[in-house]
Structure 1
């Protein structure tokens, strides 16, 4: 077998975490030697259990490299190892790097800047809009968006990236042939077309709880900057931040209202020195990318509105506002204001995230 075949074999060992795999490979001076190690030698290794050894030996007995590659090809899945030229350069330098990756679509371009966008699954309308808006503008400026395709912030970040036109990549906590969450089936297919689905877990792997904290090191590892859009004080997103800090990456956080549970984690990050994220411009400046002018798009859209429509639209932002407050700010009577808001919704410029509350849709 060739060296990549040995990595293919070890990828089939069930439930082996990267920390243990790292110890195994280093403990015997390489993947090929690991394959040829005896049961006795494996049992004498530090922190390796009898159950681990049984799984390794079972995988060696059952592994058929031809069947392995045939199954991947049949399902349009690619396999890359750290010994291959196409393996992402950003991951090579870390001691906790994955030794192999499965992917559908493509891998990130090593020569382009990348930003990881993470945040709450149960996010607010404010978080959804900001995630989509920032990701879209970063994408329009040639920045690749890395995320996890989870519900909430991940989903809206990757939707924005697709709209922006640059590639986006989802690092998943299951096999790349499994759509999780299932409601993201359309997003999954779009990401494959406009980027890639990536995992260190072999096809068929279920989305187990321990997979997600482990995959977060790949999300941060592939990025130049990690942006946290909304996160509670105790959030899975902060695990990604911990990995990013260990990897020497810059962290940016979206400010939120004091006392808002969904912004507790972000506000704490800002207190300890994270960069303040108010728009894509903050990150583009950090990456030394000259921002393309989007103001003309917004201005031209506003110019299309009649006077009353324009007055209402100007008062709306990404944070939802109550209709009674809009009446006070615009001086427009309730019936007329309701007509305007309805028309703006039909035109796709305004949304109603909850009863009697309105916000702009990201342009």
Structure 2
């Protein structure tokens, strides 16, 4: 499957201004495919989608306008999957507002496999990104495909972990698939196209617009059995994904954090509202009743014998506090912190703060 036989008609239908998922759903309650829509008399279309859309459809198909998209679809690994196709994901088909079509770069088969969504802050802490990678890898190795939004921070870390866990990761983006946003994730996107899939309901050439990202979140949550939120401020877009997941009847999970961290407040709010608090990948797999691999990640580890690491937790701490707590000199503490940074145990943060990485 690369594109339906009437790909040109689908592209023309998609290009009609104002024809969103609701209007498309109404059309396909009456017509089997896009070509049948364009073949229908305008009088038959008006009661279904209204006069403006019916008149736009009646203008027919301009093949030249869609030649670039047809060329893109002809390239290996590029696909167009309409909602009328039997391969369209059942998980999306039953949503209140399913996308009428999906552009896919990669392997469409990934969309039919059990998924877990992992989302969170774009401005994630080093520990948050490390947790996202570890949870994603453990869940992928257990057989779940990791789906997220290719954003900076938690999303990117989750994709990296999913790819490390047998290449199981799918990205749902808020742009056309001929654009990569953010640009710094270009290499990650290319790797996902080779080992997983990138998905969008937006036409080729669509730039990143603020309204697109909340809209794509319903697809992220809709594809997954559940959504795990790792680090989220109270106004985080990842909370929209969690809300959508709950409305769609999916499970919602949240990783707790320090009560002093703004990035923990969104997760703590979700837990108060009924999200399952998780400390390990096993917690998620048990809730989903999904058989897991014998090894899994936890969010904690045994007490550290190193005096400096023993003073450090998930909450960032300053040099002065470490000097006072350890009884060591400033030079000694600074040298130890540098060594721990090089060993991947500590991260230096803005403002002269340090955070332990578990």
The count of residues paired between Structure 1 and Structure 2 equals: 352
Deviation string for 1:298-338 (max 9, x for gaps)? 99xx8xxxx7xx44345444433333333344443332222
Matched, 1:324 2:320: yes
Partner of 2:264: 263
Unaligned runs of 5+ in 2: none
Partner of 1:358: 354
How far did residue 274 of structure 1 move? 0.8
Q: Structure 2 residue aligned with 1:37, among 35, 40, 53? A: 40
Partner of 2:27: 24
Q: Distance in 1 between matches of 2:109 and 2:356?
A: 32
Q: Distance in 2 between matches of 1:128 and 1:56?
A: 47
Q: Distance in 2 between matches of 1:81 and 1:321?
A: 52
Does the C-alpha gap of structure 1 residues 198 and 64 become closer, same or farther in structure 2, counting only changes over 3 Å? same
Partner of 1:145: 146
Which stretches of structure 1, 4 residues or longer, exceed 6 Å deviation after superposition? Answer: 63-67
RMSD between aligned residues: 3.4
Does the C-alpha gap of structure 1 residues 37 and 212 become closer, same or farther in structure 2, counting only changes over 3 Å? farther
Partner of 1:274: 275
Matched, 1:169 2:176: no
How far did residue 353 of structure 1 move? 1.8
Q: Distance in 1 between matches of 2:115 and 2:124?
A: 23
Partner of 2:294: 292
- 3-state DSSP of counterpart to 1:116: strand
Does the C-alpha gap of structure 1 residues 130 and 86 become closer, same or farther in structure 2, counting only changes over 3 Å? same
How far did residue 250 of structure 1 move? 0.6
Normalised by the length of structure 2, the TM-score is: 0.83
Q: Distance in 2 between matches of 1:264 and 1:313?
A: 25
Q: Distance in 2 between matches of 1:74 and 1:2?
A: 15
Q: Distance in 2 between matches of 1:63 and 1:243?
A: 38
How far did residue 67 of structure 1 move? 6.9
Normalised by the length of structure 1, the TM-score is: 0.82
The 5 Å alignment of 1:1-363 reads 2=5, 6-14=9-17, 16-26=19-29, 31-45=34-48, 48=50, 50=52, 52-53=53-54, 55-58=56-59, 60-62=61-63, 68-74=69-75, 76-107=77-108, 109=110, 112-258=113-259, 260-287=261-288, 288-293=290-295, 310-361=306-357
How far did residue 217 of structure 1 move? 1.5
Does the C-alpha gap of structure 1 residues 278 and 324 become closer, same or farther in structure 2, counting only changes over 3 Å? farther
- 3-state DSSP of counterpart to 2:170: strand
- 3-state DSSP of counterpart to 1:16: coil
Q: Distance in 2 between matches of 1:67 and 1:232?
A: 41
Q: Distance in 2 between matches of 1:67 and 1:284?
A: 43
How far did residue 279 of structure 1 move? 3.0
Deviation string for 1:28-78 (max 9, x for gaps)? 6764442223344434445x462x445434562347888754332237422
Q: Distance in 2 between matches of 1:325 and 1:140?
A: 40
- 3-state DSSP of counterpart to 1:117: strand
Does the C-alpha gap of structure 1 residues 189 and 14 become closer, same or farther in structure 2, counting only changes over 3 Å? farther
